[in-house]
């Protein structure tokens, strides 16, 4: 089955053909670890996780690389403001990032390079650029000379004036051209720095990804991903550095970018009070990150996404409906775990996740309507496999409804995480089981008022019992 992706560099959807048959190299820009990840950070993680799952389903041998930027001026500023060391800050925020993305069912990348581990590679690439006449040293800085590259701007398609304005470039007297960007800059003794031919300093942001992608995937690789906000200047400058360092050799063959994300109709900003971290949202859904993931997939990845509170509530209802359908057939053997072919075709059409989710919903309707046990078994297997291809339905129904999600995903690794907006929801599973056993004992003794009292107490704590003639068969958290 052919996979098509919208290639930003070509401004059109193209059939994906890897550089090496059967193998795919994919590099996605990861976080700068100075704070907790927000929902805008999570969107590309979920999108490219679906693409990675799809590529592997199609039989490709995928090497998925997503970096960690652990040296950058924002990190230095944040560590100083927090009164902690840079090492402490980057360790803490990296651990939080891993936990939050795992809670969204995002699989870890195959390789996760850190900028501080590739300084030598950056220095080598900068030296090459200087030797080839594409970079120059000035007052302890090394800058890329944009006028040395005839087709600079080819990825974003911006004209000269737009590039200078859009880059928000630092005005500096030592620059030959206003659009020239920093490859290396000096470091004072109290901030991170490495020895180099140009003195003690640290790399610019753009050179980091050029060096890390080359070290992990080679000079030319298949897919480079990230948000639209990275097209210029970050990805444009990656192209410039990498192509010029290797005499025009192709860098990334397919550029895939997800659309912008707003919150309640506005650009996300702490000053507007609409800043949504993944951690806060996990608290709103009691650790059930699949609801957040579903919401991110409801809009096609290339379109803008407006994040709303009511939209997350609706996503929670929708994901519950899938699990209710599976709950209805929990005693039926699961059929072959093969995803629905129409759903696979939807994803192969430039990751059409809205259509894929509609097909997933249609499968639940078929499951409810099916009468033959063999047919229900077959649809059950197809529903689970289809959901898994989207990174959904990865729990059994009891685990989902009884609220063990956060513990399994280790979202509670830090003290500052609260998965519940209602303190009553924190009743433990052991306490629930003990109260159910006590209720059963009272019913056997025909003490029905006491039995009802226990049931009502559990209900007040957000626990709904499911009673059958033979007794309590199950329970769920409201």
Task: Give residue-wise pLDDT tens across range 273-290.
Answer: 889 999 999 999 988 999
pLDDT of residue 165: 63
pLDDT of residue 452: 83
Judged against a pLDDT cut of 70, whether residue 167 lies above it is answered with no
Judged against a pLDDT cut of 50, whether residue 412 lies above it is answered with no
Compare 330 and 405 and report the one with higher pLDDT. 330
Question: What is the mean pLDDT of the segment spanning 372-394?
Answer: 97
Question: What is the mean pLDDT of the segment spanning 410-435?
Answer: 51
Domain residues of the chain, as ranges? 4-258, 262-413, 428-477
Judged against a pLDDT cut of 80, whether residue 422 lies above it is answered with no
pLDDT of residue 377: 97
Q: How confident is the model at residue 407 (pLDDT cuts 50, 70, 90)?
A: very low
Q: Which pTM does this prediction carry?
A: 0.86
Average pLDDT, the chain: 90
Judged against a pLDDT cut of 50, whether residue 139 lies above it is answered with yes
Judged against a pLDDT cut of 80, whether residue 473 lies above it is answered with no
The model's pLDDT over 197-210, given as tens digits with 9 standing for 90+, comes to 999 999 999 999 99
- Look at 4-8, 81-85, 174-178, 220-224 and tell me which has the smallest mean pLDDT: 174-178
Judged against a pLDDT cut of 50, whether residue 414 lies above it is answered with no
pLDDT of residue 158: 81
Compare 177 and 409 and report the one with higher pLDDT. 177
Judged against a pLDDT cut of 80, whether residue 307 lies above it is answered with yes
Judged against a pLDDT cut of 80, whether residue 79 lies above it is answered with yes
- What's the CATH superfamily of 4-258? HUPs (3.40.50.620)
Give me the CATH code for the 262-413 domain, please. 1.10.730.10
Judged against a pLDDT cut of 60, whether residue 417 lies above it is answered with no
Question: What is the mean pLDDT of the segment spanning 396-408?
Answer: 68
Compare 476 and 211 and report the one with higher pLDDT. 211
The model's pLDDT over 338-358, given as tens digits with 9 standing for 90+, comes to 999 999 999 999 999 999 999
**Which 3-state string (H, E, C) describes the chain?**
CCCEEEECCCCEEEECCCCECCEEEEEECCCECCCCCEHHHHHHHHHHHHHHHHHHHCCCEEEEEECEECCCHHHHHHHHHHCCCHHHHHHHHHHHHHHHHHHCCCCCCCECCEHHHCHHHHHHHHHHHHHCCCEEEECCEEEECHHHCCCCCCCCCCCHHHHHHHCCCCCCCCCCCCCCEEEEEECCCCCCCECCCCCCEEECHHHHHHHHHHHHHCCCEEEEEEEHHHHHHHHHHHHHHHHHHCCCCCCEEEEEEECCEEECCEECCCCCCCCCEHHHHHHHCCCCHHHHHHHHHCCCCCCCEEECHHHHHHHHHHHHHHHHHHHHCCCCCCCCCCCCHHHHHHHHECCCHHHHHHHHHHHHHHHHHCCCHHHHHHHHHHHHHHHHHCCCCCCCHHHHHCCCHHHHHCHHHCCCCCCCCCHHHHCCHHHHHHHHHHHHHHHHCCCHHHHHHHHHHHHHCCEEEEEECCEEEEEEEC
Question: What is the mean pLDDT of the segment spanning 106-126?
Answer: 98
Judged against a pLDDT cut of 50, whether residue 74 lies above it is answered with yes
């Amino acid at each position: 089955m052919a996979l098509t992706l919208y290639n930003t560099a070509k401004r059109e959807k193209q059939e994906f053909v890897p550089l090496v048959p059967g193998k795919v190299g994919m590099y996605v820009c990861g976080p700068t670890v100075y704070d907790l990840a927000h929902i805008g950070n999570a969107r590309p993680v979920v999108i490219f996780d679906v693409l990675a799952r799809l590529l592997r389903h199609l039989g490709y041998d995928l090497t998925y690389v997503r970096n960690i930027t652990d040296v950058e001026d924002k990190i230095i500023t944040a560590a100083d403001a927090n009164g902690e060391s840079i090492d402490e800050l980057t360790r803490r925020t990296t651990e939080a990032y891993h936990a939050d993305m795992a809670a969204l069912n995002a699989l870890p990348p195959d390789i996760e390079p850190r900028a501080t581990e590739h300084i030598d590679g950056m220095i080598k690439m900068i030296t090459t650029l200087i030797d080839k006449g594409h970079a120059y040293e000035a007052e302890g800085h090394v800058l890329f000379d944009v006028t040395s590259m005839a087709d600079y701007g080819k990825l974003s398609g911006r004209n000269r004036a737009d590039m200078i304005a859009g880059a928000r470039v630092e005005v500096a007297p030592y620059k030959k051209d206003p659009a020239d960007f920093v490859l290396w800059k000096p470091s004072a003794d109290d901030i991170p720095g490495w020895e180099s031919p140009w003195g003690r300093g640290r790399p610019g942001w753009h050179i980091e990804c050029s060096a890390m992608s080359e070290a992990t995937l080679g000079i030319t690789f298949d897919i480079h991903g990230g948000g639209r906000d990275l097209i210029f200047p970050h990805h444009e400058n990656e192209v410039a550095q990498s192509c010029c360092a290797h005499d025009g050799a192709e860098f990334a063959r397919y550029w895939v970018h997800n659309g912008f994300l707003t919150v309640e109709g506005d650009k996300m900003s702490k000053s507007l009070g609409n800043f949504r971290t993944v951690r806060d949202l996990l608290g709103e859904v009691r650790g059930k990150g699949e609801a957040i993931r579903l919401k991110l997939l409801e809009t096609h990845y290339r379109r803008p996404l407006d994040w709303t509170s009511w939209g997350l509530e609706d996503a929670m209802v929708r994901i519950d409906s899938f699990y209710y359908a599976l709950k209805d057939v929990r005693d039926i053997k699961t059929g072959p775990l093969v995803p629905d072919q129409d759903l696979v075709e939807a994803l192969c059409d430039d990751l059409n996740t809205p259509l894929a989710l509609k097909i997933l919903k249609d499968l639940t309707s078929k499951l409810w309507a099916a009468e033959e046990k063999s047919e229900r078994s077959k649809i059950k297997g197809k529903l689970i496999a289809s959901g898994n291809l989207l990174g959904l339905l990865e729990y059994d129904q009891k685990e989902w409804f009884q609220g063990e999600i956060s513990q399994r995903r280790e979202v509670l690794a830090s003290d500052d995480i609260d998965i519940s907006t209602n303190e009553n929801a924190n009743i433990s599973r052991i306490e629930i089981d003990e109260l159910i056993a006590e209720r059963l004992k009272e019913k056997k003794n025909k003490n029905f008022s006491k039995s009802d009292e226990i049931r009502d107490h559990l209900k007040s704590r957000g626990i709904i019992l499911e009673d059958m003639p033979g007794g309590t068969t199950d329970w769920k958290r409201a």
